[in-house]
Copies of this chain bind each other. A is one copy, B any other.
Amino acid sequence: MLAIVIAMSEAPRLNRQVCFALYSASKAATAVYRPVLEGLGLTYPQYLVMLVLWEDEPRSVRELGAELGLDSGTLSPLLKRLESLGFVERRRSAEDERRVEVHLTEAGNALSEQAKAVPQRLADAAGLSAHELAQLHDTLERLTAALHSAI
């Protein structure tokens, strides 16, 4: 009983620590990605967009946003930068002229070969076992879902 009271009084503190740990871990992960992706000329959010396009292409701005949880205020300038880098082309859809379809260029397609080494280099840096990674992934997905339903 005492343990429960202590646990409850510590819950907010622990929760605060978890949020900060989340914030720190996310920054640390993108910091590890940074020099690796620099070789490709990409930032981490740009790499995420390319991953989606390498899977299936073309995708509308709307679809990319739904997949990555980003809005047009973030994606519009990001896609312009990807376009000026020559990895992507934006074209108005003929069927629905509100939509902008994002296509891969030849260079954008070719980049996927170079990008194949990226995940392994991150896995090497993570220092967690496959089981821990799987458990972390599961916990984070449930946490994200719970947080989203709280808004």
- Residues of A at under 8 Å CB distance from B? 7, 10-33, 35, 44, 48, 51, 69, 119-120, 122-128, 130, 132-137, 139-151
Contacts and interface: CB of A to CB of B under 8 A. Distances in A.
26 contacts: A10-B130, A11-B120, A12-B119, A12-B123, A15-B126, A20-B48, A22-B22, A22-B25, A22-B26, A23-B26, A23-B29, A23-B30, A23-B44, A24-B69, A28-B148, A29-B143, A29-B147, A124-B150, A125-B147, A126-B146, A126-B147, A127-B146, A127-B149, A127-B150, A128-B142, A135-B139
A120 B12 contact: yes
Contacts of A48: 20, 23
A120 B11 CA distance: 8
Contact of A28 (B20, B25, B137, B147): B147
Contacts of A123: 11-12, 15
